[in-house]
Each structure stands twice: as C-alpha cells, then as structure tokens.
Structure 1
Amino acid sequence: MSDMQQIIAVTTLVCLIAGGAGAMALSGLRGRSTMVLVVVASLVPLVAVSLAVFVNVQRMFISTHDSTVVLVALGLAGLIGILLSLVLGRQVAAGSTALVDSLRTLGDGVSGLDASRGASVSSELSDLWRELDTTRGRLAASEQRERALERSRRELVAFMSHDLRTPLAGLRALAEGLEDKVIEPEPALRQMRQTVTRLDGLVGDLFELSRVSSAEARTQDDTALVSLVEVAHDVVGELEQHAQQREVDLRLQTRGDDDRLAVTGNGDELTRLLGNLVGNAVRHTAPGGSVIVRAERSPDGRTQVSVLDECGGIAEPDLHRVFEAGWRADPERSGADAGAGLGLAIAKGIAESHAGSISVVNVEGGCCFEVALPAAERVS
C-alpha cells in the first residue's frame, strides 16, 4: 500500500471514530440547550481533523513543521467556529425560548407578538413566529365570536322568557276569570285564541331559527328555480294592506327587462326572508314615511334585493348586532308589535343557507338592508 493510500485510510478511520464519538456525545446531550448542541456539533469536525493530523504526524506521513502550521490554522478556525456557534446557538435558543413563552400565553388574551424578536431568528423560526401570530389572531377573533354568541344566547333566553311569560300570565288570568265566572266566556275565549296564536308564532320562530342555523345540507328536493322578482311582488302584495294601515308608502322597484332574477333555493324560505325584512321596515317606519323594495342584478352577476326604510337609522355601535338572535334596538320594547327579535336572525340564516349574504347600512333618514344571492343553477 502506498503512502497516499495509507494517509487516506488512516484519515478516514480517525474521522469516522471522531464522528461516531460526536454522535454519541450529541445523543447523550439530548434535551440540553440548543446552544450547547450547536457548539458540540461545530467542534466535532475540528477534533476529527486535529486527530487525523496528529496520527499522520506520528506515522511520519506529515512533517512536524507542516503539522504545526495545520494545527495553528485549525486552532484559529476552531476559535472562530466556537464564537460563531455561540452566537448562532444563542440566537436559536433565544428564538426558541420566545416561541415557548408565546405558546404558554397563546390562550391568555395577549394582543400580539413582539415582531422585533421574531425578526432576529432564522427564516424557519420567523415563519413559525408569523404563523403563531396569525393563529393568535384567529383565536382572539374566535373568542370574540364565542363571547358574542354567548351574549346573544343569554339575551335571547331573557327576551323569550319575557315574551312567553306575559301571554302565559294573561292566559292564566283568563282561565281563572272563567273559572270564577267573573268574565264573559265569548270575549275571554277570543282573547285566549289570539294569545295562543301569538305563542304559536313565537315557538315557530324559534324552530325556524334553529332549522336555518343548523349545518345540515339542503337536499335537492328542497330546492328549485325561484324568481326573486315574483317573490318580491308576493311579499309586497301581502304587506301592502298592513303598510296602508300604518300610513306607510310601500313600493316595489324592478328593472323593465325580462330578467326574473332566478335563484336556486327554497321558495318558502326566500319569501320568509324578504317578508321579515319588509315587515320589519314597515313596522319601524313612522307614519308618512316610505319603504322601497328593489330587485336587481348586481355588477358581479348575483341577484340582489334591497329594502330601504325611513326608520331614522341604527346607532353605529349596534349595526353589527342587528342580526343577532333576540337583539332589539330598544330592550324595553315588547308586545305583539315588537316581535321576538328573531326576524332578522332568521333572515340571516336563510340567506347564508342559500350561499348568499345579508348586510345593513345607514342611509339618509333610515336603513338599507341588502340581500345578495348567487346566480341560479340548474336543478335536475
């Protein structure tokens, strides 16, 4: 075997031994600080080369003069490597510690992460840092939605308890009056029938809200091609007399072409959606005011129905709560005319169940409720 072959063989063997020893050292240090692991990993190649030089010197393959030069260079390179490893290890350890601290406070409502700390680590940790910050924002938004839903649920229970307790108390009084024979049967029975009708409406609203809010998919048997123009005509016709009684001018505005604004959905549900919006607008518009229903196609191709009233507008802080179940602009308002506070919540559920959207904005003198639904799809 030539000298060169012996040098290669000895160097390879020494490096393998040093590498194996380094791997065992890293395995033994598992669980220690990242900075320690980085320093050890950077020293393993230096030790391997130094041992290889030492063995080759001992076997007379390298002169003492040459080995001294190599060892001095290795020593200086090792010093630089250790310093850089300490800096890198400290950065990685600091970034990891910051991420751990952030994870510990992930559900504590902390508003956000310190961006300067995330910018001082590697790109991988920076990506993880940004993803964590995004997750924190999503959790915060989810928590806010959960609180809003819980608040809406409590208000709904409170309102429904009040709305149910009042007619039930009236029924009890009527029943006791009939039992004691202190009131005439005919007017009492008429009043009881009206009260039962109102209770049936409240229970029906609750059932409808639960149904449209469920995650169950609508089957094809429940859907058909429905013309929103015809739905709007039907709703305006049904509520026209009620509007006249309240001295409110109810008008329908549509385009003059043959576009019937067809959508795919349930006709009864869409009629109820628009009926709730128009009925709510008529109820809150003062005598002498007007309610305008517009049916048209939006520039993006979706069908759109708008209901403009003259209710005086809604307070800006309350706009986002309009579609919450049980919410009322005036919590003290009750009675048959006030309803259960479920009409707009049901309308929102119906719109979303048809892959559409519903919104409200303040306009001059009142509000504008807008429903947008996707274009019709053929139903087999």
Structure 2
Amino acid sequence: MKDVLLIALFAFLGAAAAGLLGAGVLRLLRHRSLVVSLSVVAGVAVTAMLAGTLTVAWAMFLSSHDLYVVTTVVAMAALVSLATAVLLGRWVAAHSRELTLATRSFGDGGTFAAPTGQPTAELAELARELAATSAKLDSSRERERALEASRRELVAWISHDLRTPLAGLRAMAEALEDGMAADSGRYLRQIRTEVERMNGMVGDLFELSRIQAGSLTLTPARISLYDLVGDALAGVDPLAREHGVRLIGDRIDEVPVEVDGKEMSRVLGNLLINAI
C-alpha cells in the first residue's frame, strides 16, 4: 500500500508540474485561435501523463528498455491527441467563421440565417439567440418604417389641412384690402374662426411632438363619461351644423372614468372633427 501511495505521489507531482506549465502557456496564448488552445490542452494532457510516467519510472529505477517502451507509447498517444485536437479545433473554428459571416448581415439590415450543423451545443445556442435577436430587429425595423410612413402621411395631411384655411384667409384679406367685402364684419368673424382652427392644428402638432418625445404629462381625474362626451359634442356643434351633420349624445351612460379630462376632450374633439 505504501508503494502505491508513493507511486501516486510521484505521478501527481510530475503531472502537476506539466499542468502548471500548460496553464502558463494557455494564459500567454489566451488571445489566439481556438485551434491553438485545443492543441495546447491536448499537449498538456499528454505531457502530464508523460511527466507522471517518467517520474514514476525514475523513482522505480526501471530499465532503459522499459523506459523507452513507455516513452514511445506516450509519444504515439501525443501524436494522436494533437492531431485530434487540431482537427476538432479547425472544425469548430470553421463553423465559428460561418456564424461570424452570418452575423454581419445585422449591420447591413438583413436577416440572420443561422448556418446548419453547428458542431457544439454552445454555438448552436448562440445561433438560436442570434436568430431570435434578428427577428426582434426585423420587427423593430417594420415598426420604424410604419412610424416613418405615418409621419410622412401626417405631414401631408397637415399641409393639406393648413393650405385650405390659408387660401381662404388670403382671399378674405384681399377682399377686405380691395374694399370688395360687402359685409366686412362677417369676413372678420370668419377670419377669426379660421385662425382659431389653424391654432388648434398647431396645438395638435405640438401635443404630438410632446407625445413622441415622452414629455406629455397626464393628470388623471374622476369624471363622468356623459359630461366628457357632452363637452366634446358641444365644442364641435357649430362645425357640425355648418356641414349639415346632426350630433346625438343623449345615449351615453353616466359612467365615471379616470382620465385626463383636457387631453381626452382633445382626442374626442379630433375624432368628431375628422368624422364631420
């Protein structure tokens, strides 16, 4: 039993020395390729085995022939281990490069297509995560394109809606300037109405910019839904009468709601104006 423990001690000391040396080499080469790292690991394993064997052989005073046989066997194992490590490293490195090339499609606005047949579970998991991230980026790009399209459409609508009252204001101003207005008071009242309408449009644009910037602060309060709708209907009633539209709001229940009364009135007013 004592001899076995002694042999184990000598083998451990020889293998530990080789392991420490291999750890130092790995630290120095930690920024190199995977092929180099795997080769070093395989070399450390074989060197540790050889060191432990030679230490035990030296301690047991084996014959030179026996030592030569053991060394030859270990050398053959080292060659096979190194060859296997290099092949495995090159295989994994090749698939890693494929994954790297596929990942570059993110920067070009493309869709990530994971290479098939990943050699390790870690690379396969990384490919799945990249595919999921690509799907999220595609969804974000679609939302961004939709928002940009809505912004362009909004600018076109606002330009059209502003052009109409501006044309009317210009015509009425020219009529007043030339003295062609039969009822100047009515023209002035109409100009004031159009100016208030344009001021409302500008206010809507300002509110929209605050919403997009995230700086719109809401102040919720308890208010009756009946009163909320009634105020909105009263605000657009003159415009509805002008266009021959009849508004009915007596079927609204008096349900209490928790909303920002000012902003909700703006929302309902915009909806009613668009509908009219």
Task: Give the secondary structure class of the aligned counterpart of 1:97.
Answer: helix
- Aligned equivalent of 1:167, options 157, 165, 168: 165
Structure 1 residues 102, 262: closer, same or farther in 2, change over 3 A? Answer: farther
Partners in 2 of 1:78 and 1:141 — Cα distance? 52
Q: Is the 8 A contact 2:114 2:128 kept in 1?
A: no
Q: Name the counterpart of 1:266.
A: 260
- Compute the TM-score of the two structures, normalised by the length of structure 2: 0.76
Partners in 1 of 2:136 and 2:195 — Cα distance? 45
Superposed, 1:87-106 pairs within 5 Å as: 87-106=87-106
Give the deviation of 1:50 after TM superposition. Answer: 1.3
Partners in 2 of 1:244 and 1:189 — Cα distance? 18
Q: Is the 8 A contact 2:18 2:44 kept in 1?
A: yes
Q: Name the counterpart of 1:277.
A: 271
Unmatched runs of 5 consecutive residues or more in structure 2: none
Partners in 2 of 1:111 and 1:217 — Cα distance? 36
Q: Name the counterpart of 1:107.
A: 107
Q: Is the 8 A contact 1:57 1:64 kept in 2?
A: no
Q: Name the counterpart of 1:143.
A: 141
Task: Indicate the structure with greater strand content.
Answer: 1
% of aligned pairs identical?
Answer: 39
Q: Is the 8 A contact 1:3 1:61 kept in 2?
A: no
Superimposed CA distance per residue, residues 295-328 of structure 1 (whole angstroms, 9 cap, x where no aligned partner): xxxxxxxxxxxxxxxxxxxxxxxxxxxxxxxxxx
Give the deviation of 1:248 after TM superposition. Answer: 6.4
Superimposed CA distance per residue, residues 205-226 of structure 1 (whole angstroms, 9 cap, x where no aligned partner): 222323444423746xx22223
Superposed, 1:49-198 pairs within 5 Å as: 49-62=49-62, 74=74, 77-78=77-78, 81-114=81-114, 116-117=116-117, 120-184=118-182, 185-198=184-197
Superimposed CA distance per residue, residues 329-360 of structure 1 (whole angstroms, 9 cap, x where no aligned partner): xxxxxxxxxxxxxxxxxxxxxxxxxxxxxxxx
Structure 1 residues 74, 199: closer, same or farther in 2, change over 3 A? Answer: same
Q: Name the counterpart of 2:221.
A: 224
Q: Name the counterpart of 1:318.
A: none
- Compute the TM-score of the two structures, normalised by the length of structure 1: 0.58
The letter of the residue matching 1:124 is E
Partners in 2 of 1:270 and 1:280 — Cα distance? 15
Q: Which has the higher contact order (CA 8 A, sep 6+)?
A: 1
Q: Name the counterpart of 2:19.
A: 19
Structure 1 residues 278, 190: closer, same or farther in 2, change over 3 A? Answer: closer
Superimposed CA distance per residue, residues 6-50 of structure 1 (whole angstroms, 9 cap, x where no aligned partner): 644543343233223323332343433202211221221211211
The letter of the residue matching 1:161 is S
Q: Name the counterpart of 1:38.
A: 38
Partners in 2 of 1:181 and 1:54 — Cα distance? 118
Q: Name the counterpart of 1:202.
A: 201
Structure 1 residues 155, 172: closer, same or farther in 2, change over 3 A? Answer: same
Partners in 2 of 1:236 and 1:194 — Cα distance? 18
Task: Indicate the structure with greater helix content.
Answer: 2
Partners in 1 of 2:200 and 2:31 — Cα distance? 66
Superimposed CA distance per residue, residues 135-189 of structure 1 (whole angstroms, 9 cap, x where no aligned partner): 2222222223223333333333343334334433443443344334344433432
Larger radius of gyration: 2
Partners in 2 of 1:169 and 1:274 — Cα distance? 27
Q: Is the 8 A contact 1:164 1:199 kept in 2?
A: yes
Structure 1 residues 201, 5: closer, same or farther in 2, change over 3 A? Answer: closer
Q: CA RMSD in A?
A: 3.7
Aligned residues: 273
Superimposed CA distance per residue, residues 210-258 of structure 1 (whole angstroms, 9 cap, x where no aligned partner): 3444423746xx2222343553465567668838964668577668xxx
Unmatched runs of 5 consecutive residues or more in structure 1: 284-380
Q: Is the 8 A contact 1:15 1:52 kept in 2?
A: yes
Task: Give the secondary structure class of the aligned counterpart of 1:133.
Answer: helix
Q: Is the 8 A contact 1:53 1:67 kept in 2?
A: no
